Structure formats: structure tokens, C-alpha cells
Amino acid sequence: MKIVFLLHNAYGIGGTIRTTLNLAAALADHHEVEIASMQRHRETPRFTVDPRVRLIPLVDTRSDGADARDPRFGEPARDFPVHEKRYEQYSRLIDERAAEYLRGCGADVIVGTRPGVNVYLARFGPRGALRIAQEHLRFEAHSKRLRAELAPHYRTLDAVVTTTEADSAVYRKRMPLPGVQILAIPNSVPEPDLPPSEGTEPVIAAAGRLVRGKRFDLLIDAFAEVVDKHPEWRLRIYGGGAEKDRLRERISGQGLTGSAELMGPRFPIEAEFARASLVAVASDAESFGMTIVEAMRCGVPVVSTDCPLGPAEIIQDGATGRLVPTGDKHALAAALLELIDDAPARRAMGAAALESARMYDPTPISRRYERLFEELAASRGARRRARARAALRSRARRLVRRCTALFRRRPGTAAGR
């Protein structure tokens, strides 16, 4: 079986890229696997690509490359959805290269990994292939306008896969897709090639993009309460982003210089988590929670806000980590202090987290995808009939509405007098 993944840019850094590479490598044990990257901005990928997986860049966006001299490179995209956050990064050249690639890729299964790329899949993916849209962002993270753009295209696909059961439920309720299977399969995180944390270092780690939604400001405020009672503990925040200067000012304003540090991006992050005794997540929302699983795979318990949608599906509160109310710095500080004060409980929770995180190994996740491929192939006829029945019902409803409107406008009717 030939399986193709479509990525926005396989040469960058991000959770979607990493989990796609993990899954592609696992599937390569039994299948031919190919990744098509819509864009390429550097010579080599930042993440390691399994040598069995073929990587095909469609458009080189470097200013000194041949593609940058193509007139279509500067033309706005026509097929990529205009309300997608990445729209300005797309061009007519990417539209046409994506269409050409999809029509000729010869895949049995094609998996898109972000909304705009999923629209390419719906428009140009061969009807003989199974066409699957992955959603790595929450339904609510998409604007109403983008959801309106996506719905007619998603209705032509075979499946939509979210990373959490909660988000699948939202899609089923808010974006009905007759004949399209909507289900959740979590991201995969491989076992790190290093020993787990011993849970003895006085270090709290956190990682992610330095953006407002990750609420590192809340974490810094909570840590101020922690360090007041345990001045020997340190907070290390890994990542880069627009909030860097504001967070540095907050650290200084809280008198935490030397205790809390912005460490910049790190890869692999597991090497840093393994040097910590706790990992903290203060987000307002998480579509999944890759850093949570990455920390657990290092034997480190995670104290996380119980934000929608991912943490509660990963952390068993009190057993593999702690869940606290979203936006509550005092609750976050209290949970951190509870585990700081009880080292045996902290280490036991880390051991439980390590065991629990084995379910996110790429092998069982890839098997879930293989079962999905089999189910979709077997149910094609039934799903096609379900889609046809839904289309007939929709046309019937439109006809009834037109007839009702015409009747009400007729002279002599109560509405027309």
C-alpha cells in the first residue's frame, strides 16, 4: 500500500511535523510511505526523516531558488482557502504544484495535516484513493468563516481524524459530514533514547511557542509563589515566539531573575525534560498536548491546567499528573508545591506517567491507522449511499422552502394580501 502525507512545511519545527514523521516511520515498516511538503525554506529538514520515507518538496520558497523567479510564485492562491491562517504564505504556484502532485501520486491513502492542505486533498486527490483529513487544531480554533469554507470540501472526504475524543464529538455536532467517518486518534510520541528523569533536580520545565494562549505569564506568576517557599527551585521555559520580551519583563518584574529563565527553542525537548522533576502546562486551550506526553515519556509528572481539550484525556489526575482549573495561578502553584514537598509521591507519579505514556508509542498508533484504512475501504459503498441520501434530503428541504416562499407570495393567500 502506498501512503502519502501532505505537510505545510516538513522543513520547519512543530508538533504536526514531528508527529507526522513519527507516524510515517512506523507505517514504513509495512508500506511505501511518501511525504509531500507544500513548501521548503531550507536545504535539509530540522527533524530526522526516516530513510525509508520519501520526502518531496513541491515549491522552494527560498529567495535565491528557481521557484522564486516563476511568475506564479508572486500570484495569490486561488484554491487554498482564504480564511486559513497560512493563506498569505500560499501562491498560485503552490496551488498548481499541489494539484499536479495529487493527481499523479498514485497513492492508495492520502492524509492531509492542516485545513488548507485538506482542501487541496478534497479538490485534487484521486477519487480512487482513501482521502483523510487530520485536524491538529481544535474545531473552535478555526474561525466561523474558515469552517464555512471547509465544510463542503470535508463532505467529499472519507474521514476526519482529530487528536482527542472531545474534539471529534464537537465535529460530529457542529459540522455534520454524512458518509464521512469522524474519529479520534492521538498523536504518537516515540520512546526517547535516554534514561528517564530521577525526579531529584529542583527544576520545573515548560515548553511551547511563546504566545498568549500558552499562558507562560500565568506560570511565571505561579512560580513566584513556589520560589517564595522553595528558593532553590528553578523554572526553565523552552521555546521561541512573539511573547519573549513581555515574558522576560514579567520575570524581572516578579523578582525572578536567576530563578526563572527563557531558554529558547530546544530539540529534542526530551533531553531537557529528563533533567527536570516537574513539567508545567498553563495553557488556556490545547488541541492535544504533545509536551505533556513528551514529559511523561521521560518519567516526569505534569501539572497542567484542565483546559479544553487534550490534557484531561492524557493525564489521570492524582496518578500520572495533576489537573488544575484553567487561569488559576494559585491552584497551579499549590499543585506544584504539593509535589515539590512530597518527593516520594512525585517520583511515584513520574513512574506511573512513564508507564501510561507507552500507549502513545508510534507502533500502536500506526496500527490504529491501518485498521482505519481497512474500515474505510470496506465501508465505501455504505458511506457513498449515506452521502447520496443526505444530498437528496438537502435538495428536498431546499425545494420545500422554495415552494413555501412562492406560495406565500401568491395573490390571495394570507401572506400575499
309 and 268 in a common domain: yes
249-to-208, 220, 240, 261, 323 alpha-carbon distances in Å: 18, 11, 15, 11, 28
* Residues 170 and 93 grouped into a single domain: yes
pLDDT of residue 407: 75
Question: Do 215 and 271 belong to one domain?
Answer: yes
pLDDT band at 1; cut points 50, 70, 90: very high
Which helix (H) or strand (E) segment holds residue 59: the answer is strand 54-60
Q: Could you give the CA distance from residue 376 to residue 160 in angstroms, rounded to a whole number?
A: 11
How sure is the predictor about 412, in pLDDT bands with cuts at 50, 70 and 90?
low
Residue 394, pLDDT above cutoff 90: no
In a domain, 85, yes or no: yes
Q: Which helix (H) or strand (E) holds 200?
A: none
Tell me how far apart the alpha carbons of residues 328 and 150 are, in angstroms, rounded to a whole number. Answer: 35
Decide: 364 and 186 in contact? Cβ < 8 Å: no
- Phi-psi sector, 97: left (phi>0), alpha (psi -120 to 50), beta: alpha
The last residue of a domain, from among 184, 211, 244: 184
Which pLDDT tens digit goes with each residue over 78-95?
A: 999 999 999 999 999 999
| Confidence (pTM) | 0.91
The grid coordinates listed for 198 are: 530521577
Higher-confidence residue: 162 or 381? 162
> Per the structure, how many domains does the chain have?
2
Average pLDDT, integer, range 369-384: 95
Considering the domain architecture, whether residues 56 and 116 belong to the same structural domain is answered as yes
Q: What is the pLDDT of residue 402?
A: 82
**Whether the Cβ atoms of residue 326 and residue 218 lie closer than 8 Å to each other:** no
Tell whether 408 is covered by a domain: no
Q: Are 307 and 357 in contact (CB under 8 A)?
A: no
Domain check: are 227 and 126 in the same one?
no
Asked if residue 339 and residue 232 are part of one domain, the reply reads yes
Q: What is the DSSP string of 289-338?
A: -HHHHHHHTTT--EEEE--SBSHHHH--BTTTEEEE-TT-HHHHHHHHHH
Domain closes at, from 136, 155, 184:
184
Do 297 and 261 lie in one domain? The reply is yes
Among residues of the chain, what percentage have pLDDT more than 70?
A: 98
Residue 306 neighbours by CB under 8 Å, 6+ apart: 312, 317, 323, 324, 325, 326
Residues 139 and 29 in one domain: yes
pLDDT at 415 over 60: no
Task: Indicate if 121 and 38 belong to the same structural domain.
Answer: yes
pLDDT value at position 278?
A: 98
CA angle 245, 251, 253 (to 5 degrees): 100
Q: Spell out the residues 6+ positions from residue 143 whose beta carbon is closer than 8 angstroms to its own.
A: 83
Contact between 295 and 302 (Cβ < 8 Å): yes
Domain boundary among 355, 376, 400: 355
CATH no. for residue 119?
3.40.50.2000
What are the start-end ranges of the H helices in 9-110? Answer: 15-27, 92-104
Residues whose CB is less than 8 angstroms from the CB of residue 31 and which lie 6 or more positions away in sequence, other chains included: 1, 2, 3
Q: Is 71 helix (H, G, I), strand (E, B) or coil?
A: helix
Residues spanned by the domain of 233 = 203-355
